[in-house]
Structure 1
């Protein structure tokens, strides 16, 4: 595993773990790396110094480095929106399009949901009159 410090085209800095340097390169080339704060797809690696501890301190646990906190009013507003959505909605993951369609067609109980959809799925929902809207953030994902 390798941790990279990343920066998006909107100047948001964050860290992320990857299986290897090659895994990062292939994920980025496939468009699967985006900003953890705003979702921008243009992300680049920052220069990093390796975290090397002298042997005498190897047994001393080091504190975890938190992801960057929202700095601007816009970032704070997006963070507040994320908290509101996560507290009052059900995350349905990659089943978002199917769940939204079931609710629209009356086949499932209406409730507040959020999740992920491919662009063509989202476009089809909108064309079919299903009331959906994009969120200005990506869902939190569990890391291994």
Structure 2
């Protein structure tokens, strides 16, 4: 499998997994590669950082595995994903990016230490579990969100 960083004509960045470069080209030519955020089929490969192998004395970072689909999705699924991406985009317009401070700021709002507002950011799986155990209302976003400083 090959992982490509992709970008749509609206500037949204996302990843795609393909069996080969030819597989990507074939799916793209058939209009099967679409942006999960806006549904655009005008998708191209984005510049990628090279994969540099770790040194033999470095510990590998462990991440939970992600469920993947290797076949093109049915049109109904593509439509649902496009609607979900549009809903997330609208919701994030009313939200403020807080980056890695997400867990801390969510906790402060929950305990009344600051004004409540809608925020989004990054949290580790452990931080998210801790928040949920404390009764803090949080949820994962269905699609990845880039930090504002990473957007063009």
Considering the TM-score relative to the shorter chain, is it more than 0.5? yes
For residues 31 and 74 of structure 1, the distance between their equivalents in structure 2, rounded to whole angstroms, comes to: 31
1:3-14 alignment to 2 at 5 Å? Answer: 4=4, 7-8=16-17
The total of aligned residue pairs comes to 105
For residues 106 and 88 of structure 1, the distance between their equivalents in structure 2, rounded to whole angstroms, comes to: 21
> What does residue 94 of structure 1 align with?
100
> What does residue 142 of structure 2 align with?
136
How far off is 1:30 after superposition?
Answer: 4.2
Q: Which runs of 5+ in 2 are unaligned?
A: 6-14, 19-31, 35-42, 55-59, 70-76
How far off is 1:18 after superposition?
Answer: 3.1
SS at match of 2:137: coil
Q: Which runs of 5+ in 1 are unaligned?
A: 35-39, 44-70
Cα RMSD, aligned residues only: 3.6
For residues 91 and 12 of structure 1, the distance between their equivalents in structure 2, rounded to whole angstroms, comes to: 28
> What does residue 122 of structure 1 align with?
128
